[in-house]
A and B are shown apart, each in its own frame.
Chain A
Amino acid sequence: MDMSPSTIRPKLTARGVNVFYDDAHALKQVDLDIRAHEVTALIGPSGCGKSTFLRCLNRMNDLIDICRVDGDIRLDGEDIYDPAVDLVYLRARIGMVFQKPNPFPKSIHDNVAYGPKIHGLARSRAEMDEIVASSLERAGLWEEVKDRLDAPATGLSGGQQQRLCIARAIAVRPEVILMDEPCSSLDPIATARIEALMDELKQNFTIVIVTHSMQQAARVSQRTAFFHLGDLVEVGDTDTVFTQPVDPRTESYISGRIG
């Protein structure tokens, strides 16, 4: 098991992370490095703590009153739980795509423009149009929507809406994109498009994805971390985890055994 700090400088480091929901110990003493420009997949059965861990990475758990997070999480060496950290700025650096596509009830253009506008990333209408176009292009949606940017986003198909959400996330030029089961409500074709997109996006971003589909983890990620009952059981190169897992719990889970 490759738990040792890697020689590649990690984008995100988590050390001794514990999460409690009231008295429930949801995540136990997790140490994990997320490497830059790679896709890291977090897998494990429901309730294992993988989504909880993902939400620690951009402090989404702060929104849950009963949730308490202990430990140390750093983005490029900076403590993201430092009281001085500006949450809006943090979440611009670490964006998120959710399970269900959640476009704003606005036009396609305005969905993508929303983030850059509040962060003041465009100085002119032309600059904003450029950000919108390039974000849609990188999300692989431009060709399908370029003639109807003013149409409501809610009129797009599920797969298109999810790519719109990805365009919206990358429009604010984040460094990390967190994805919480981004394909669970999509058909296989739309899923394949999102997966191909992740592969391209990792050149510019660091991606962490929570997925229930082992095949998806195997297809898209370079590193896989397996969680079980709040423990990080095993983390390693994806091809090793899927051909020669070290821990019997990992073996049982990925090969569909009752363990």
Chain B
Amino acid sequence: MNDRAEHIYKTFDEELRQLDNRLAEMGGLVEAQLAGAVEALRRGNTELAEQVVARDKEIDALDIEIDLFSVRLVALRQPVAADLRTIFAAIRISSDLERIGDMAKNIARRTHAVSRFPPLTTTASIASMARVVQTMIKQVLDAWTARDTEAAADIFARDAEVDQHYASLFRELLTYMMEDPRNIGPCTHLLFVAKNLERVGDHTTNIAEQIDYAVLGTRSAERETHDPTNTHIPAAEDR
């Protein structure tokens, strides 16, 4: 959008800028929430965790605001071509960000349960998985702002890395649980956390796809979002 000529209706350009600003605001908030959730979990900081849970409402409110604003733009401006694609991409990105916010909230909610157990070394692995995911979010938000499809393509490769992290965390946690049944409680919580982070990676990839759509009009076929642990456990036990 940035390198295109201006609209004859300047207010429409202004409205599209507003839409971008709102998304950027929401993206920043989501980044902060995820960072807060991971930090709370790592330090067993239940106070911070509660703050994260409480702030999720702000993300939900922004999602609704972006939705309504987009519907209004479609109704009043009757956008076509790149404008139309941008608005639809924004709606979808907003709902992916909202889901990432939910994941952050879920992670924060486990802080209390996990903090009651002696610390496990796995928390460090979770933190490093979280770092990859957080970098992805930052990259994808920057790529959206710049409408940079090359940077978006990079996100797909990163997601494979996240999947690997998840698969190795899964094995690690399984080992702890087999070693000592008292580990089952905290490990199960951490497994959910790892799964949440893996989902964040998937949502980030969805956002990257929307950059392609907005800029080029192409939609890559639905990427396989298979459970990366499926290859390691027999299907029957997966049920």
Q: Do A and B belong to a common assembly? A: yes
Give B3-27 as 1s and 0s: 1 = Cβ < 8 Å from A's Cβ atoms.
Answer: 0111111001000000000000000
B12 touches A245 (CB 8 A): no
Q: A243-B217, A244-B217 in contact; A254/B8 too (CB < 8 A)? A: no
Q: B84 contacts which chain A residues (CB < 8 A)? A: 242-243
B83 within 8 A of partner (CB): yes
Q: B157 contacts which chain A residues (CB < 8 A)? A: none
Q: A243-B85, A243-B217, A244-B217 in contact; A255/B80 too (CB < 8 A)? A: yes
Q: A245 contacts which chain B residues (CB < 8 A)? A: 81
A218 touches B80 (CB 8 A): yes
B79 within 8 A of partner (CB): yes
In whole angstroms, how far apart are the Cα atoms of A226 and B7 in the complex? 19
In whole angstroms, how far apart are the Cα atoms of A258 and B7 in the complex? 6
B82 touches A256 (CB 8 A): no
A257 within 8 A of partner (CB): yes
Q: A237 contacts which chain B residues (CB < 8 A)? A: none
Q: A243-B85, A243-B217 in contact; A257/B6 too (CB < 8 A)? A: yes
In whole angstroms, how far apart are the Cα atoms of A259 and B81 in the complex? 15
Q: B6 contacts which chain A residues (CB < 8 A)? A: 257-258
A137 within 8 A of partner (CB): no
Q: Among A215, A242, A257, A259, find the residue whose CB has the most chain B CB atoms closer than 10 A.
A: A257
A251 touches B82 (CB 8 A): yes
Closest chain-A Cβ to B83's Cβ sits at a distance in Å of 5
Q: Which of A215, A242, A258 contacts B81 (CB 8 A)?
A: A242
How many of chain B's residues have a CB under 8 angstroms from any CB in A?
16
Q: Which residue of B lies closest to A245 (CB)?
A: B81
Q: A214 contacts which chain B residues (CB < 8 A)? A: 80
B5 touches A258 (CB 8 A): yes
In whole angstroms, how far apart are the Cα atoms of A193 and B78 in the complex? 21
Closest chain-B Cβ to A99's Cβ sits at a distance in Å of 23
In whole angstroms, how far apart are the Cα atoms of A243 and B81 in the complex? 4
In whole angstroms, how far apart are the Cα atoms of A242 and B82 in the complex? 9
Q: A257-B4, A258-B6 in contact; A215/B78 too (CB < 8 A)? A: yes
In whole angstroms, how far apart are the Cα atoms of A251 and B217 in the complex? 12
Q: A251 contacts which chain B residues (CB < 8 A)? A: 4, 81-82
- B29-86 contacts to A, CB under 8 A, are 78-85
Give A222-259 as 1s and 0s: 1 = Cβ < 8 Å from B's Cβ atoms.
Answer: 00000000000000000000111100000110111111
In whole angstroms, how far apart are the Cα atoms of A245 and B78 in the complex? 16
Q: Which of B7, B78, B80 contacts A243 (CB 8 A)?
A: B80
Q: B80 contacts which chain A residues (CB < 8 A)? A: 214, 218, 242-243, 254-255
Q: B7 contacts which chain A residues (CB < 8 A)? A: 255-258
In whole angstroms, how far apart are the Cα atoms of A243 and B5 in the complex? 18
Give B111-149 as 1s and 0s: 1 = Cβ < 8 Å from A's Cβ atoms.
Answer: 000000000000000000000000000000000000000
In whole angstroms, how far apart are the Cα atoms of A252 and B5 in the complex? 7
In whole angstroms, how far apart are the Cα atoms of A120 and B55 in the complex? 81
A255 touches B83 (CB 8 A): yes
Closest chain-B Cβ to A62's Cβ sits at a distance in Å of 36
Closest chain-A Cβ to B168's Cβ sits at a distance in Å of 41
Closest chain-B Cβ to A168's Cβ sits at a distance in Å of 33
Q: B5 contacts which chain A residues (CB < 8 A)? A: 252, 257-259
In whole angstroms, how far apart are the Cα atoms of A214 and B79 in the complex? 11
Q: Which residue of A lies closest to B83 (CB)?
A: A255
Q: Which residue of B lies closest to A259 (CB)?
A: B5
B81 touches A255 (CB 8 A): yes
- A16-58 contacts to B, CB under 8 A, are none
Q: B9 contacts which chain A residues (CB < 8 A)? A: 256
In whole angstroms, how far apart are the Cα atoms of A245 and B85 in the complex? 12
B217 touches A256 (CB 8 A): no
Q: Which residue of B lies closest to A257 (CB)?
A: B5
In whole angstroms, how far apart are the Cα atoms of A259 and B6 in the complex? 8
28 residue pairs bridging A and B, Cβ less than 8 Å apart: A215-B78, A218-B80, A242-B81, A243-B81, A243-B84, A244-B81, A244-B217, A245-B81, A251-B4, A251-B81, A251-B82, A252-B4, A252-B5, A254-B80, A254-B81, A255-B79, A255-B82, A255-B83, A256-B7, A256-B8, A256-B9, A256-B12, A257-B5, A257-B8, A258-B5, A258-B7, A258-B8, A259-B5
- With A243-B80, A251-B82, A257-B7 known, 6 other A-B pairs at CB within 8 A are A218-B80, A243-B84, A255-B7, A255-B80, A255-B82, A257-B5
